Structure 1
Amino acid sequence: MDLLAGFTWPEIAIALAITFAGAFVRGVAGFGMAIILVPVLALALTPVEAVLVTNAVALLVGLSEAPRLLRDAERSAVAISVLVAIATAPGLALLAITPAPMARMLIALVAISAFFAILRSGRAAAPPGPATTVFTGLSSGLLTGFAGMPGPPVVPYYVGRAVPRTTAKASMLLIFTVAALAGLASGAALGVMHWRLALLGLLLFPAVLLGNALGNAASARIGDTAWRGFVALVLAASALAALVKLLQG
């Protein structure tokens, strides 16, 4: 299995299991795959590799849903996506020069920040102003490059507002698809995107499709209140897991 050189079978098995779980959460909540997948992959791979593999599977599943996402997303998602694409390369460049232990700690802190961000968000009906939108896009791009996690700024932007669940999910997932593409393009430009990472992403893709499909089916059977509660639960669990890793490290 020369094509898998550099990856052990235990690493691949763990990645498949975590990818399935992360994709299921993505299907239900509209986010969460990167928050779950990157910290775990970063234990077996380098942080840069973990981010790029996550971007690969996120792009593949996002492209499979592109028509629906473009139809249902809020117009603000397009503006945020452009800003994400601009800011991703600087974030990845910063990750590439950050020592691995520090990068893992910062990635864990990103997961914790997502939980507190959603707790502080309100339920306003009106969309945020231009300044908030610009900050959301740029910070999401930086986090895409550095942690493979565009979600912490984006989730409160949509979930914290009184918008339909279908609109919130489609808007977030459209942004995350663009973020994944920007992350891979930035990795290639910086010379850190290698063929074996793309291969691992393709290997994980069936688990993503299955987990995402089951998550979407589960999401269709719950109401908005239960969905928002699940979103908060996912963020809380991610924050707790990240905190445990910090205390153990």
Structure 2
Amino acid sequence: MSTDLIVGFSALQIVVAVAATLGAAFIRGLTGFGFGILLVPILALALTPVEAVLALNIMAGLLALSEIRYVLREAERSALTISVLVLLTTLPGLMLLDATPPALARLLIALVALSAFFAVLLPRRGAAQPGHLTTGMTGVVAGVLTGFAAMPGPPVVPYYVGRDIPRRTAKASMVGVFGVAAMTGVASGATLGVLEWRIVLLGLALLPLVVFGNWLGSLAFGKVSDKLWRIVVGVVLAAAAVAALLKLL
């Protein structure tokens, strides 16, 4: 990594960023989500929040591209509908964030994170795909939250994990949606003129760690029971909700 890339990073921050990248990628490989929730706060120690989100989205988008065959093979058809709506509503979400007072934005983000956690705790619904309205609202809210908080997970995770469908289907569907969300976030950053080459190169430099950590998580995914997998999903969502509330307080 060149000197230009590590300007603003102390040696300790670099070590923590590497460890956090591996850990977040492992959780992503195991659950299908949680990468941004765990990694953005660490990257934000040395970067601005916008830069941290963009660097993460570069890594997440490229990782999703490497898994496209898995997504196409295993994902539910609803993931395509939700992804298209994410494409259409991410930029309005970013505009909404810009127009929202910071205190109110933090409150809304915390409430969304909490709602996702409690939604996963509800009894699982049947395997049938929800109606067009529920699917459409999931896509719209996921897109708005991608722009507003870099957090498309709260509506998407309960949509899939809260149903009695195979976990491979749930994970592949979430991976597909979040990959589209990440690439849309990068495109929105470029459109607004806030994406710098320094951030692109940083994302590329950390990508091998992301691939390795995700691979380890995927190995674990194949060995844990469905019940344990859902417990891990709940724990990650709970951590996100607690982090959002602490930030709010």
TM-score, with length taken from structure 2 = 0.90
- 2:143/2:181 contact within 8 Å kept: yes
Q: Deviations over 1:182-217 (max 9, x none)?
A: 111111111111111111211221221111111111
Q: Deviations over 1:99-127 (max 9, x none)?
A: 76776665555433431232246322211
Counterpart of 1:27 in structure 2 is 29
CA distance in structure 2 between the aligned counterparts of 1:139 and 1:27, rounded to whole angstroms: 24
Greater CA deviation, 95-104 or 153-162? 95-104
CA distance in structure 1 between the aligned counterparts of 2:28 and 2:189, rounded to whole angstroms: 24
The one-letter amino acid of 2:4's match is: L
Q: What is the Cα-based RMSD across aligned positions, in Å?
A: 2.2
CA distance in structure 2 between the aligned counterparts of 1:100 and 1:202, rounded to whole angstroms: 31
Aligned with 1:158 (options 157, 160, 163): 160
The one-letter amino acid of 2:117's match is: F
Change (3 A) 1:60 1:234: same
The one-letter amino acid of 1:114's match is: A
Change (3 A) 1:215 1:177: same
Counterpart of 2:61 in structure 1 is 59
Counterpart of 1:15 in structure 2 is 17
Are 1:3 and 2:4 matched, yes or no?
yes
CA distance in structure 2 between the aligned counterparts of 1:182 and 1:176, rounded to whole angstroms: 10
Aligned with 1:90 (options 74, 92, 103): 92
Change (3 A) 1:228 1:5: closer
CA distance in structure 1 between the aligned counterparts of 2:99 and 2:13, rounded to whole angstroms: 25
Superposed counterparts of 1:172-183, under 5 Å = 172-183=174-185
Give unpaired runs (5+ residues) of structure 1: none
Superposed counterparts of 1:222-233, under 5 Å = 222-233=224-235
Matched-pair identity in %: 59
- 1:69/1:171 contact within 8 Å kept: yes
Superposed counterparts of 1:204-223, under 5 Å = 204-223=206-225
Q: Secondary structure of the residue that 2:44 maps to in structure 1?
A: helix
Aligned with 1:119 (options 118, 121, 137): 121
Counterpart of 2:204 in structure 1 is 202
Q: Deviations over 1:127-158 (max 9, x none)?
A: 11111111100110111112222111100000
CA distance in structure 1 between the aligned counterparts of 2:246 and 2:183, rounded to whole angstroms: 31
Give unpaired runs (5+ residues) of structure 2: none
The one-letter amino acid of 2:124's match is: G
- The aligned length equals 247
Q: Deviations over 1:46-99 (max 9, x none)?
A: 222222111111011111111111111110000100000111111223345567
The one-letter amino acid of 2:184's match is: A
